[in-house]
Amino acid sequence: MLTGKNIILTGAGRGIGRVVAERCAKEGAMLALLARTESELEGTLKRIKDLSPDSFYLVCDVSGQSWVKKVFREIKTRWDHIDVLINNAGVQWPIGPFHANKLRAWKANVETNLFGMAHCTHHVLKDMIHKGKGKIINLSGGGSTSARGNFSAYAVSKTAIVRFTETLAEELRKFNIDVNAIAPGAINTKMLDEVIEAEELAGKELADALKRKVHGGNDPGLAADLICFLASERSNGITGKLISAPWDLWRNEEFCEKLRTDRDLGTLRRIDDKHFTRKT
């Protein structure tokens, strides 16, 4: 699906990012892998090198605006165009009631999850607009569609990503640039371990995390498959949506056509019986 595509992937060192990198490489893409930890990037690159020998990595903390600018300048010296940006980098801390959170940690979460995504997106748009096409895929998460107590920074930043996705999609529709967000599901990554380590600060989510640690979570391959689909030409015209990897019927062409034509499907909306009502 992705032969000849140049893809930038943030948060590529581990977890979902590593699985996405492998899947995109298998589909023929060339990747620029970004993350903060060089040893983890080396591990990801080693796993995809045989599939995508021209892929490379660059160490980058996406929360740093000047750092992102420098890295994207380097990418543009290697590539003459960028087809896809996958904003996967994210952090979960601080965990616990908002009044007990340190505001510095709370702001740091938003700087990585929201501003990091904005930094990277800003640096690809001029080229995509000039080319008249492109794909931007943002990773949403728990708390973006319903309240998530004790995870306020994460929930707020991920909700903002979804609304940013919708808004940017409207601005870029005329340039044939599709912007979507995905909900990967409850996947067992380092974030699950953080919930367990937080103990009572995680509230009711601690019990769920302990069960998931034993029985397993959603398959990260589902998220990788959805991302590959959204990065490919097969998803053209689907834009401004939040799509769940494990729950939505995105493999079904009829559902995909609804995503293309129904402006309200797959979006954040208030249900108030005035404009939007509950189905009975």
Catalytic residues: 154
Number of other residues whose CB lies within 10 A of the CB of residue 112: 25
Sign of the torsion angle spanned by Cα atoms 241, 86, 16, 107:
negative
Structure letter (DSSP) for residue 83:
-
Number of other residues whose CB lies within 10 A of the CB of residue 132: 10
Instruction: Classify residue 39 as exposed, middle or buried by CB count within 10 Å of its CB (0-12, 13-18, 19+).
Output: exposed
Beta bridge partners of 242: 181
Beta bridge partners of 137: 86, 180
What beta strand segments (E) does 105-262 contain?
A: 134-139, 177-183, 242-244
64: which residues sit within 8 A by CB, 6+ positions away? 119
Contact 231, 24 (CB under 8 A): yes
Q: Tokens 């607009």: give the residue.
A: 129
- Of 120, 131, 108, nearest in space to 168 by CA: 120
Buried b (16+ CB within 10 A) or exposed e, 174-184: eebbbbbbbbb
